[in-house]
Chains A and B, each alone.
Chain A
Amino acid sequence: MAVRPGGSDFSLRATGSVARRQALSRASRYVLLGASLVGVVALITLLWDTAAAGASRVSWDFVTSYPSRRAADAGLRSSIIGSTWVMATTILLAIPIAVGTALWIEEFAPKGRFLTIVQLNLANLAGVPSIIYGILGLAVFVRYFQLGPSILAGSLTLALMIIPMTVIASTEAIRQVPPSIRDGSLALGATHWQTVWHHVLPGAMPGIMTGTILAISRAAGETAALIMIGAFTFIAYDNTSLMEDFTTVPIQIYNWTIRPQEAFRENAAAAILLLIAAVFSLNLIAVIVRERFRRY
């Protein structure tokens, strides 16, 4: 029997352990609400604070100017172009490998020790701090393969970083596709590959896209790994090839925050607002894609 506290005249006043349980139940609602508010309040406070510091610096000139020793002239041009190059290359490198891995794991791999090892590895790699990927990138891509602190080296590093996350998200999505779809396709005479290509992959696509875009958002905001490979540089030109040195928006923000002059902090705040807007719009795309193409 449910007893509704504070209800009609008929309600019985609970006593003893029942009263304690009900009090706990009432309290839990507010405690849990409080817990969920922590994140929201923190984000709003941060945004508000940043907006107050940097909103006045956001302008078209700020986006199209090269960095400068004078805070008022400095802009994000080379870092936005660098970020765009790196992100595009990272996506091209990481997504086919990640989705391929996920398809193999879910659709082709024989259950056994090898599969377990692969999955265990991926789960562990997803938790490795980004700076470790930076050290790896420096040793392998920058030094050993002699790529230098180039866009290609940076993209390879970031691709390695986001592949595990993307694989995990993609396997989840592929698992959501009902077995009846596969069975139906196979029963009609389609090959294993035709089933995967024409039915499983399209069905899993919204989930894969969501995971992918979240991974890309993480790569877009990545700083530590790229500083490690040597992308912390002053650049006042537009990147035109994969082998050029580069810088990215988060690195430019870091560069501005460590300068003593207050005016550079305003630049950093303005750049943070633009970066948040970009990441936010990526996430928005993820949500739209998921809602629009959801099948299962």
Chain B
Amino acid sequence: MAALRRPRGRQRLILLVLAALSPLAGIACGDNGGDGPAEVPTNASGIDYTRLRGKVRVDGSSTVYPISEAVAEEFSKVARGVKVNVAFSGTGGGFEKFCRGDIQVSAASRPIKASEKQACEENSITDIVELQVAIDALTVVVSPQNTWATCMTTDELNFAFRSGGAKKWSDIRPEWPDASIKVYYPGPDSGTFDYFREAILTGVDRESTHRTDGTPSEDDNVLALGIENDRHAIGYFGFAYFEEAGKHLKAVEVDGGHGCVEPAFDNALRGAYVPLSRPLFIYTRESLLRERPELLGFTQFYLDNIEALVKEVGYINMPGELLQQQHDRLKPFLPQ
């Protein structure tokens, strides 16, 4: 409420209301785009984006949403005739709509389940195409002065982060220090928080909930700083941030049942860093790729621009080889 003490606020407000009224009258019918269409010529894949017309509906995982949103935003600038809209109703919700034929692209933070495939088949949707678009991973970190926590099992992580869980490090393992544990975590609005809760809390013990007596922050820098300066702290954030700015912290290896695995790029890529890394996908259909050039255009644009956009929204890019495999899946549908 600091705003209340600001001087001359009333005059500002009145001016603002008046100023706000004027544009609303004229906007509705205007068709003059403020930003001119970006000049993108026919690209390497042989698609002339400017000629495409039609609609593409994307739905599904909220984790993939930021990537799809970024792709749709850029795609809309070059393919002005294609009306793309991106929604999120969860991976399961996306497949439900996809199998009903309501949407053309379904985004998922896990591979499609057998039961979902069957639901699709019941509506004679059998030509599903899976394209991986990125990798999502989290890193658990402690202070560099922390000499004891080098590898933790998922059960131990669950105990450290659940409400009513460990109060002291020695509660986790008796040989660890008899000092209270300080927890740092991303704010509950973030996808990182959601993912951690799924993987380490409900994923390990359905009954467990995330503790709320720590220090939440939406800013990864705040988390990193807090953990660095506190010998007894533990926290987590997106792997991409760790790679870029968190290297001075100590990353904890995670034992998901198959021994300790270091949160390294390679481990995330080969699927060994479980449960804290997962592939992200989009799904579509062969018949749609054949019949609807605008969908093919969107999907091709997705893969062509994935590297820059995935980095921007904070996920991990697939290695070139894996990305090439995705391109190869689309190739048969491209104009020769």
Contact = CB atoms under 8 A, between A and B. Distances in A.
Contacts of A281: 21, 24
Nearest to B9: A48
A51 B9 contact: yes
B55 to A, nearest CB: 8
B24 A278 contact: yes
B3 interface: yes
Given A63-B27, A238-B31, A51 B87 contact: no
Interface in A28-71: 45, 47-49, 51-53, 55, 58, 60-61, 63-69
A138 to B, nearest CB: 12
B189 A260 contact: yes
B27 A51 contact: no
A58 B22 CA distance: 12
Contact of A277 (B21, B28, B70): B21
B37 to A, nearest CB: 12
A236 B73 contact: yes
A51 B313 CA distance: 29
Given A245-B83, A260-B187, A274 B69 contact: no
A235 B66 CA distance: 13
A41 to B, nearest CB: 10
A273 B16 contact: yes
Given A52-B9, A245-B83, A58 B16 contact: yes
B190 interface: yes
Contact of B16 (A45, A55, A260): A55
B114 interface: no
A81 B28 contact: yes
Contacts of A51: 3, 9, 12-13, 16
B287 interface: no
Interface stretch (A112-120, A182-190, A202-210, A226-234): A226-234
Interface residues of B, number: 47
A69 B83 contact: no
A283 interface: no
B17 A234 contact: no
A66 B76 contact: yes
B5 to A, nearest CB: 10
A66 B31 contact: no
Interface in B65-114: 66, 68-70, 72-73, 76-77, 80, 83-88, 102
Interface in A221-268: 230, 232-238, 244-245, 247, 258-262
B218 A64 contact: no
A137 B278 CA distance: 36
A237 B75 CA distance: 11
Contacts of B28: 80-81, 84
Nearest to A234: B86
Contacts of A276: 17, 20
Contacts of A244: 55, 83
A234 B23 CA distance: 23
Contacts of B33: 64
A109 B119 CA distance: 51
Contacts of A245: 55, 57, 83, 85
Contacts of A233: 85-87
Nearest to B97: A230
A234 B83 contact: no
Nearest to B189: A260
Contact of A69 (B3, B27, B186, B313): B313
Given A51-B13, A52-B9, A66 B1 contact: no
B20 A274 contact: yes
B86 A277 contact: no
A280 B187 CA distance: 35
Contacts of B31: 238
Contacts of A68: 73
Nearest to A76: B27
Contacts of B69: 69, 234
A53 B3 CA distance: 9
A245 B1 CA distance: 38
Nearest to A270: B20
B190 A237 contact: no
A45 B77 CA distance: 40
Given A233-B85, A237-B83, A245-B83, A64 B30 contact: yes
B34 A48 contact: no
Contact of A260 (B12, B13, B88, B190): B190
A260 B69 CA distance: 16
A148 interface: yes
Contacts of A53: 3
Nearest to B57: A245
A47 B331 CA distance: 54
A148 B312 CA distance: 32
A164 to B, nearest CB: 27
Contacts of B187: 260
Contacts of B12: 51, 55
B216 to A, nearest CB: 11
Given A58-B16, A234-B85, A245-B83, 14 more contacts: A48-B3, A51-B3, A51-B9, A55-B12, A64-B33, A81-B27, A84-B28, A233-B87, A234-B73, A236-B77, A245-B57, A278-B20, A280-B21, A281-B21
6 contacts: A49-B4, A52-B3, A63-B23, A69-B66, A236-B73, A260-B190
6 closest pairs, A vs B, by CB?
Answer: A52-B3, A277-B20, A236-B76, A84-B28, A234-B86, A233-B87
